[in-house]
Structures are given as structure tokens and as C-alpha cells.
Chain A
Amino acid sequence: MIVLLIILFAGIILLEVPGLVKKKMWRELAAFAAYLAIGMALSIPQALGIRLPNPSKAIEALFKPVAELLK
């Protein structure tokens, strides 16, 4: 699982980064890296079997007073 994930990330980097470097799109490269970092942060722990909190839960808690009306 984790190996597949690393291969996937490597693939994505190989696909996108050389083009961006060649065209000197540094801003795009930074955004790409940031997004990929978020993606890694969310996916690698899951692949290792670590349970991450689901943001839906937080949203549910946030809207609980209103949501009660819909029960």
C-alpha cells in the first residue's frame, strides 16, 4: 500500500516538475508542492493505518445547532 503510494507520488512529481522547472514557473511549482504536501499528509498516515480525524465531524459539530432542526 505504502509502496504504491510512494510510486504514485514519484510518478506525479516526475510528470509535472520537469515541465514546470523548464518553463521557470516557480510559483506554480510552489503551489504544486504545497498541495502535494497536503495530499501526502492526508494519505500516508492512512496508508500506514493511522486514523485521522474526519473534517466532516468538525463541520457536523459546528453546524449542530442548526442541524438539530432538521432531525
Chain B
Amino acid sequence: MLEQGKIDSKQAILLLISLVLPTAILTAPAITVKQAAQDAWLSIIVATMAGLLIAALVTGLSLRFPGKTLLEYAEEILGRLPGKMVGLLYIWWFLHGNALILDEYASFLCSALMPDTPVIVFFVFVTVVAALAVYSGLEVLSRFNQLFLPLVLGLLLVVFLLAAKDMEVTRLLPVFDKDAAAILKGAVIPASWFGEIVIFALLIPFLDRAEEAPRVAVTAILICGLYLLICILVVVMIFGPHVSARWIFPTFNTIRVVSIANFLERLESIAIAVWMFGGFAKIGIFYYAAALSSAQWLGLKDYRPLVAPVGVVLVALAALCRNIVELLNFLATAWPPYALGLFEAGIPLLLLVVARARGKGGRGA
């Protein structure tokens, strides 16, 4: 076994929230509102349902192969060579996806907070911290996350409540102004964020009660969906659909708007703390996934020797992104088919279909 630690269901739920939410809240609202205008919240509901389907798919698949991760059962289902190919694709996705997250994280900090700091510094700092967490193992990462995430989620909710003064429900009207196609298009982006829960397929063997995996994944998606829904509603109720769609980080702007009685204002340090920890946790989980799956793919006894070099690759990949426009364009257009179509729904679905056809795996065949 590569990983000795065990995590309980509650830790797993929190870990999955950290896996999805931090960047989803940061950039997804603007892209979704761009497509679906004030109906963006409907898109989020559709996306949450898609997320639930993916969660069911991934956990269902994993439970057929108890004790095995995605990479291991892919080989069992598809055979050695195709299985290895799929594994390699996933490793690439974990690395590349994480590089994009690093880019988002650094762009945000750079444009919102510290314009003088070279992005490379953000890359290196957060990667070093994440590397330490990954090196310490899944259990440390989860416990760290368990300490902070509730605080982060709570603060975010409080800030949204404080913004209530500037909200107007009329900005959400008329409902269904956009056609179903636009709402679906708007749902694709958040769905591809929810779909990142596919990484759970690597962690299920380390749950102390693996049979609770479906419940864990569903709860996590529901919480993420709820938060993203609140976030979109708040953003649109404050800025209206047109302005919301034009910001890059609308949630951040929303928090800056909060001003109560001339003294309770300038709360963006809370937002920044939220994303510092959230982004770090998210990067840590993707990082862990990359290191662990690489080790499994190569049949190593330990993933830890890989942690440092994986970090180097991550930073180097992240540094390839030239500017935020490239990143946003990629996230808005190529990311959904790439992530959602291939890694989050496509391959798991293929695996399930083949497993059923070949009668592989235990339960529910």
C-alpha cells in the first residue's frame, strides 16, 4: 500500500469540498453568468445535478473494485496496455489541471493583491507548502483541511450575509430570459468543476469506511453546489448580470462592496485568506493525486520520492501560461470538453460500460 493513512467520512467530505470549491467560487461565476445572464443560478442547479451523476458514476465504479484506485482498476478493466494509457492520461491531467489552478491562484493574488510580486514567487511558495503537505501524507492533508475549511466556509457565508444590504432581487428577473441552450452552456463550466470529484476515485481505498463513499461524494457535491448557488445569486443580485459577467473575479468584487455603517468594510482580507487556504488545499489534493498515481503507474513502493520532482514539473508547467487572457480563454472554452468530456465523465463512463460488458468487478454487476 502506498498510503498508510486512513481518513474518515467527514474528513473526506471536507477534502472533496476543498477539491472543488476554491477556484469554482473564484472564476466560475463570471463565466457562467456570461452564458446564462441572470439565469446563471439555474445553470448551477443543472451543473450540481451533473455533478451528482458524476459522483454516483465514480463511486459506483470504485465500489466494484474495493481497495483499488482508478488507475489500478482501469488496468483490470481495459487490460494492461490500454489501462496504462488511461493512467498516463490521468497523470497528465492531474499535473496540467493543477498547473492551471496554480495559474488561477497566482493571477488572482497578483491582480487583486500583490501586483509587484512576480507570479513565480506565488507558484513556488504555494507548491512548497503543498509539497510538504503531500509529503506528510493524505491524513495530514485531510486534518489540515479539516481545521481550516469550516472556518473558511463560515467566513464566506458571513461575508455574503453582510453584502445583503446591496442586493436587489429584481436583478434576477426575468427568470428564463435565456433559452435552455444558454442555461445548459452556462452549466457546462461549473459542471466541469464539480466533475473534479473524479479524483475521489484515487482516495476511496484510503477511507476507513469505503462503503460510505457514495454518501460522501453526494454530500460534498451538494454543499459545493449550494455554495456556488449562493455565490452566483449574491453576485448577480449585487452587480446585475451584465456587470457580473464582465468582472474576472466577481466574488472578490462582491466582498469589496460590503460596507456597513461606514466602518464594517474592506473585508477583502477575508476573501484573500479564504483563497489562500482554499487554493492551497485544492492544489495539495491535485498534487497528491499526481504523485500517488504516478507511483502506482510505475509500480513504486512509495510515492514520496516523487513529490519534489512533481512539484518542479508543476511550477514549470504553470509558468508556461503567458497571461490571464490565455488562461481565462482556456478555462471558458477548452477546459469543459477536456476535463468534463474526457476525464470526469467520458473515461469513467467507458470504464463502467466495459466493466459491465466484461463482467469485471464485484458488486452490482
The short answer to whether A and B are in direct contact, CB under 8 Å, is yes
B interface: dominant SS:
helix
**A71 contacts the other chain (Cβ, under 8 Å)?**
yes
Interface positions, chain B 175-221, Cβ under 8 Å from A, are 185, 188
Known contacts A20-B305, A31-B295, A54-B322; A70 and B317 CB within 8 A of each other: no
Q: Which residues of the other chain, B, contact A48 by a CB distance below 8 angstroms? A: none
Q: How large is the interface on B (under 10, 10 to 19, 20 to 34, 35 or more residues)?
A: 35 or more
B319 to chain A, nearest CB (A): 6
Q: Which residues of the other chain, B, contact A56 by a CB distance below 8 angstroms? A: 96, 100, 320-321, 326, 330, 334
Q: Interface with A: B8-16, B239-247, B308-316, which one?
A: B308-316
**A52 contacts the other chain (Cβ, under 8 Å)?**
yes
Q: How large is the interface on A (under 10, 10 to 19, 20 to 34, 35 or more residues)?
A: 35 or more
**B125 contacts the other chain (Cβ, under 8 Å)?**
no
* B321 adjacent to A54 (CB under 8 Å): yes
Q: Digitize B300-341: 1 where CB-to-A-CB distance is under 8 Å, 0 elsewhere.
A: 111001101110110111011110001001101110111001
B29 to chain A, nearest CB (A): 16
* A54 adjacent to B320 (CB under 8 Å): yes
* B306 adjacent to A70 (CB under 8 Å): no
Q: Which residues of the other chain, B, contact A31 by a CB distance below 8 angstroms? A: 294-295, 298, 300, 305-306
**B299 contacts the other chain (Cβ, under 8 Å)?**
yes
Q: Name the residue on B nearest A9 (C-beta).
A: B312
Known contacts A25-B305, A35-B294; A42 and B317 CB within 8 A of each other: yes
CA distance A7 to B195 in the complex (A): 39
Q: Name the residue on A nearest B317 (C-beta).
A: A42
Q: Name the residue on B nearest A15 (C-beta).
A: B308
Q: Which residues of the other chain, A, contact B312 by a CB distance below 8 angstroms? A: 8-9, 12, 35-36, 39-40, 42-43
Known interface pairs A25-B302, A35-B310, A39-B313; 16 further A-B residue pairs with C-beta atoms within 8 A, sorted by A's residue number: A19-B305, A25-B301, A28-B301, A28-B305, A36-B312, A42-B316, A43-B312, A43-B315, A46-B316, A55-B96, A59-B334, A60-B330, A64-B334, A67-B333, A67-B336, A70-B35
Some 6 contacts from A to B, beta carbons below 8 A apart, are A25-B300, A31-B305, A35-B309, A38-B313, A39-B309, A40-B312
Interface residues in chain A, defined as those with a beta carbon under 8 Å from any beta carbon in chain B: 8-9, 12, 15-16, 19-20, 25, 27-29, 31-32, 35-36, 38-40, 42-43, 46, 52-56, 59-60, 62-64, 66-71
Interface residues in chain B, defined as those with a beta carbon under 8 Å from any beta carbon in chain A: 35, 96, 100, 185, 188, 294-295, 298-302, 305-306, 308-310, 312-313, 315-317, 319-322, 326, 329-330, 332-334, 336-338, 341
